[in-house]
Amino acid sequence: MLFNRIKGQRGALTILRKAVTEDIPSHSYLFMGPDGVGKFTTALYFGMALNCLDDDPHSRPCGKCSSCKKMLSFSHPDFIYLFPTPNYEISPTGEIKDAKNLSEYESYLKNKKVSPWRYFYFQGNTAIRLDCIRMLQHRINLSFIEARYKVVVIEKADYLNVHAANAFLKTLEEPPENVVIILTSSRNESMLSTIISRCQKVNFNRINLQTIEDELFFYGVEDAAQIKMIARIANGNMEKALNTWEAQSSETRAKMRELLDIIIQGDDLSFLKYAEHYKTSKSLNELSEVLHYLIVWLGDVVFFLESPEEIINIDMTAELDKVAANNPYLTDMCPELIVFLETMLKRLEGNVNPHLVIIEVYNHLKPCIRGRI
Ligand SMILES: [Zn+2]
């Protein structure tokens, strides 16, 4: 019974459980509430519950039957998931031709499946565009493949641009039989009122302090003082709590800090010593983690001046101060650097020698992060 894994949203779950046990879901729902409180996960579990094969409706979603498993891995043919992306030019049948775009799209989905709380940084402005809605309309009108309900989740529905929102409205007005559409949004004030009024609203709350503390403990944080501090910083946002913990907890992160210091100092000699560690293929996974932390840190650089409350690496503001003072252009370069690091991560997945990768990373990042000192 996976609904039990959703914490602090009793009101929303009461509505959804009833729809599942009585088998009378609405055509469309709008899950409204702050970021990081479980709207997407609840939408996914709700879709799973509607199609779950467990005999007892109160046990749905079981998470174990073939239907649940396919939904969990995003491979169910009757599950359609839309979210804001850069302009990918998706065909009505859902193909993305450009290889770089496709690879970014797949990285996003992988991240969402494996560690959904982790932030993902796209290159370029994101929106839900007309091509996405065309794909949706094409897919919901196809005959059913195996499910009782076709489930559509549109995450961050406030990112529907004007053309897409107008086209989508037609689908909402005349939805095909047995299609359940779930929109999620933390900024429903910027959505078309005609869309909002056609959906059943389900409210999600900020998660209370105690629940976040309990969840951090569940995820393996043992230090009581650390739990309290992170829960306070997170301010009701579970996603932020997990990101903050992950950023603070690991030894690999210490390796990232060491690398960053060397880059900021421009200390080539120390780098050569540092890179020695990555001469064995055993170090490949560790280097992947280091690059992941670097990506999160570059995300912090972007937030540092505009919205410092979003920063994940709160204990590293001294480094942020230093690079912001040395290089005012770094913020603009971050999206490109993040894409570069994603490419390096891909190469590591392909078993490239980690020593070569770390040298390339150093040579690429040093001039960008240090600026022209
Ligand atoms: Zn199931």
Least reliable range by pLDDT among 66-80, 139-153, 255-269? 139-153
The dotted CATH code for 2-203 is: 3.40.50.300
CA 48 / ligand 1 centre spacing (Å): 7
Phi, psi of 81 (to 5 degrees): -120, 115
pLDDT given at position 329: 86
CA 239 / ligand 1 centre spacing (Å): 25
CA 22 / ligand 1 centre spacing (Å): 16
What DSSP element (H or E) covers 185? strand 179-185
CA 61 / ligand 1 centre spacing (Å): 5
CA 339 / ligand 1 centre spacing (Å): 37
d(CA 258, CA 239): 26
CA 51 / ligand 1 centre spacing (Å): 7
CA 334 / ligand 1 centre spacing (Å): 42
pLDDT given at position 240: 87
CA 57 / ligand 1 centre spacing (Å): 10
pLDDT given at position 233: 77
CA 9 / ligand 1 centre spacing (Å): 21
CA 43 / ligand 1 centre spacing (Å): 15
291-344 residue pLDDT tens: 988 988 898 888 887 788 777 787 788 888 888 887 888 888 998 999 999 999
Please state, rounded to an integer, the average pLDDT across all residues of the chain: 91
The dotted CATH code for 250-370 is: 1.20.272
CA 54 / ligand 1 centre spacing (Å): 5
CA 68 / ligand 1 centre spacing (Å): 4
pLDDT given at position 129: 96
CA 49 / ligand 1 centre spacing (Å): 7
pLDDT given at position 288: 87
- DSSP code of 128? B
Confidence class of residue 364 from pLDDT cuts 50, 70 and 90? very high
Confidence class of residue 273 from pLDDT cuts 50, 70 and 90? very high
Residue 112 CA, chain-centre distance (Å), reads 5
Residue 164 CB neighbour total at 10 angstroms: 22
What DSSP element (H or E) covers 100? helix 99-114
Residue span(s) of the chain under CATH 3.40.50.300 come to: 2-203
Tell me if residue 201 falls in helix, strand or coil. strand
d(CA 42, CA 181): 13
CA 39 / ligand 1 centre spacing (Å): 20
CA 79 / ligand 1 centre spacing (Å): 14
Closest CA to 36 of 338, 309, 336: 309
CA 77 / ligand 1 centre spacing (Å): 15
Confidence class of residue 372 from pLDDT cuts 50, 70 and 90? low
Give mean pLDDT, residues 74-82.
Answer: 95
CA 146 / ligand 1 centre spacing (Å): 14
CA 52 / ligand 1 centre spacing (Å): 4
Give the CA diameter of the chain: 68
CA 207 / ligand 1 centre spacing (Å): 27
CA 112 / ligand 1 centre spacing (Å): 20
pLDDT given at position 122: 85
Residue span(s) of the chain under CATH 1.20.272 come to: 250-370
What DSSP element (H or E) covers 28? strand 28-32
Say yes or no to pLDDT of 207 above 70.
Answer: yes
- Distance (Å) of CA 165 to CA 96, 129, 140, 159, 340: 21, 8, 17, 9, 33
